[in-house]
Structure 1
Amino acid sequence: MLRYLLQRLFLMLPTLLGVLLVTFLVIQFVPGGPVEQMMYELKGRGSGEVAMATTQSTGSLYQGARGVDAERLAEIKALYGFDKPAHVRFFEMLGRFARFDLGQSWRHHADVWTLIKSKLPVSMSIGLTSFFLAYLIAVPLGVAKAVRHGSRFDLISTLIIMAGYAIPGFVLGVALLVLFGGGSFWQVFPLRGLTSDNWADLTLMGKLMDYLWHLVLPVTAMTVGSFASLTMLTKNTFLEEIRKQYVMTARAKGLSERRIFWKHIFRNALIPLLVGLPEAFLAAFFTGSILIETLFSLDGLGLLSYESILRRDYPVVLGSLYFFTLLGLVGKLVSDLCYALVDPRVSFEGAQ
């Protein structure tokens, strides 16, 4: 086990470096960088002209540099660190990341890690609530569908969850706002944000209820899509276990169906679900949907990532990518280790 753990930790390094290198190289060729945007602002042009002008850029000289003296251009490049060669900037970035220094945001003029922490409560509220709802509803529903496979209940529930799966989350969000957000029908739920205007005047219980009431529509829009896949995974896993030879042997021995299900089938069928639980739980802390957060005016990680890409705030893009990639790799490793813990048949002793 220790050898396998060390191997996986060692393999994380090239994976992490590869993700950062590819992203860094792509950034070098993206038009409309911070230097060019700053030059257009100095010349008094609107931000909407920047993207149009950058598509006309040819060669190594910015089109926007016309009318800006060379000394000012050099100052702007030094301000954003573009006065150094690309490979030097890349290795400096790796050195900072090794110390978990994610850098400073050019747009917000704040530490990237501070920005992530400030946006985290919004995305964490949506992600964790969606995670628990999906597992609390989808797993029992999947078990019920497996036990009643082929029945009317199974067919009707499959049609409903597949219809929900086919509807994109942002489309469902728009429909929910129109129906229950005061769009054209009923004003039942709040239209935007996670708190009301009188949040500070509410009691502790009132604040909790107000917060949960604001979560209903965005959480519903985010949960429906993942809900279907988890339900069908649970059903198929239980069906596979029900059809195995050991179940037939247990029935031949005269064991009751209740004992067979809870003592044998249930324990074995939960293994795939439990293995993916740590990774899904960690991902739920940092779940950020750009469209859902924009639709419901939620200032979370998804909206931060989208605005950072749009504004070419590369420290936020690369810093958040590094952190989330590292978290994803660790979550995958924890899931694999949990596999060995919940299933005694799995061993990593011979893993190379």
Structure 2
Amino acid sequence: MVKTLVDRLLTTIPALIGVVVISFLLTRVLPGDTASYFAGPAATPQAIAEVRKQLGLDKSLPEQFLRYVGDLAHGHLGQSLTTGQSVVSDLASRLPASAELTLFGLFLALVIAIPLGVAAAVRQGSWIDHACRIIATAGVSLPVFFTGLILVYVFYFVLQWAPAPLGRLDVFASAPPTVTGFYLIDSLIAGDLETFRAALAQILVPGITLAIFSLAPIARITRASMLSVLSSEFVRTARASGLGPRTVIVTYALRNALLPVVTTLGMVFSFLLGANVLVEKVFAWPGVGSYAVEALIASDFAPVQGFVLAMAILYVALNLIIDLAYGLIDPRVRSSS
């Protein structure tokens, strides 16, 4: 297991280097002049040139890149010109909000998609199977921002079941003491059920928005994997041995069908990282996605580069966890590695 972990970590180094280089180059070719934006509309050319010199933008691209890499080596991601804070502190304060929303949406998707995919495979051709196909098609067809706006209109404006989509908590609730940065978990640790209910009410609609977007591929791959496993020899042998349908499906079929599902989670998580940016803007969620969009509009390079690097590290870390989970699901993978 340790050897597998080291091998996976070594393979991620080239990917992270590529992310650093590409994010640096892309931010330099974006339209807009950072110096002109922060100097103000009435600034003179001399003032703009002075701001450009202070930001180090008067240097050549190789010099700017070497300076950026040197800062990264010291754990410094630069200074955000829009907030006046370091990018590291901004990301540290906003990342728990994005992580909580993404994981909550992924959890809802798993709770719905895996049982739905299993039921669709077991009852192939039934109304459950058709419903699974319709839900999967709708999930991948509807843009995530459109789904979010529809849910806001229905649950907040029409039915008035959900609170105003304005952040992680309403104005009458206070944040719980920070332990994990996740309001749902921190409020339970503090025993504050009122804050827990307020945080759950705020995260429910954006979480459902992400769940609708992500449950489609999970449900489809679960159904396809279960159909393949249910037609295998060892499942027919288990049924012929007199085992009950529940034991055959849960103990034998589902466990062997989980490997493709776990693989799909890495892809779904990468989708959610992109969709999270739009959902955060729709629901005024104070996460890293909205932070990156605001910095992008202002041509603020450092937060955008920090956001891309943080998302790449999260993606690599999740895929590493998925690789290690293979050995827990299927011992043959652990023995071969």
Normalized against structure 2, the TM-score is what?
A: 0.84
CA contact (8 A) 1:128 1:284 kept: no
CA contact (8 A) 2:210 2:275 kept: no
1:24 and 1:201 mapped to 2: Cα distance? 35
What stretches of structure 2 of length at least 5 have no aligned partner? 177-190
1:145 and 1:250 mapped to 2: Cα distance? 21
Q: What is the identity percentage for the equivalent residue pairs of Structure 1 and Structure 2? A: 30
Change over 3 Å in CA distance of 1:140–1:200 after alignment to 2: same
Change over 3 Å in CA distance of 1:169–1:112 after alignment to 2: same
2:272 and 2:150 mapped to 1: Cα distance? 26
Structure 2 residue corresponding to 1:269, chosen from 257, 262, 266:
257
1:291 is displaced (CA, Å) by 2.4
Aligned length: 322
Amino acid of the residue matched to residue 22 of structure 1?
I
Amino acid of the residue matched to residue 324 of structure 2?
L
Q: Which deviations, in whole Å up to 9, do the C-alpha atoms of 1:69-120 show, x marking residues without a partner?
A: 3xx4543122111132211221221122133221211221101111112222
CA contact (8 A) 2:326 2:334 kept: no
1:224 and 1:94 mapped to 2: Cα distance? 39
Partner of 1:232: 220
Larger gyration radius, structure 1 or structure 2: 1
Structure 2 residue corresponding to 1:320, chosen from 283, 291, 307:
307
Amino acid of the residue matched to residue 303 of structure 1?
S
Counterparts in 2 of 1:149-188, with a 5 A limit? 149-182=124-157, 185-188=158-161
Instruction: Using the TM superposition, name which of 252-261 and 291-300 deviates more.
Output: 252-261
CA contact (8 A) 2:96 2:287 kept: yes
Structure 1 residue corresponding to 2:320, chosen from 333, 337, 341:
333
Counterparts in 2 of 1:243-282, with a 5 A limit? 243-274=231-262, 279=266
Instruction: Using the TM superposition, name which of 220-229 and 327-336 deviates more.
Output: 327-336
Structure 1 residue corresponding to 2:173, chosen from 188, 196, 199:
199
Partner of 2:83: 108
CA contact (8 A) 1:143 1:234 kept: yes
How big is the alpha-carbon RMSD for the aligned residues of Structure 1 and Structure 2? Answer: 3.0
1:256 and 1:25 mapped to 2: Cα distance? 59
1:251 and 1:152 mapped to 2: Cα distance? 25
Partner of 2:162: 189
Structure 2 residue corresponding to 1:68, chosen from 23, 45, 64:
45
1:207 and 1:25 mapped to 2: Cα distance? 43
Normalized against structure 1, the TM-score is what?
A: 0.80
Change over 3 Å in CA distance of 1:215–1:259 after alignment to 2: closer
Q: Which deviations, in whole Å up to 9, do the C-alpha atoms of 1:122-160 show, x marking residues without a partner?
A: 323321221211111211121111111111232234324
Partner of 2:186: none
1:329 is displaced (CA, Å) by 1.9
1:315 is displaced (CA, Å) by 0.8
CA contact (8 A) 2:101 2:207 kept: yes
What stretches of structure 1 of length at least 5 have no aligned partner? 44-66
CA contact (8 A) 2:288 2:307 kept: no
1:305 is displaced (CA, Å) by 1.1
Partner of 1:11: 11
CA contact (8 A) 1:120 1:286 kept: no
1:286 and 1:165 mapped to 2: Cα distance? 15
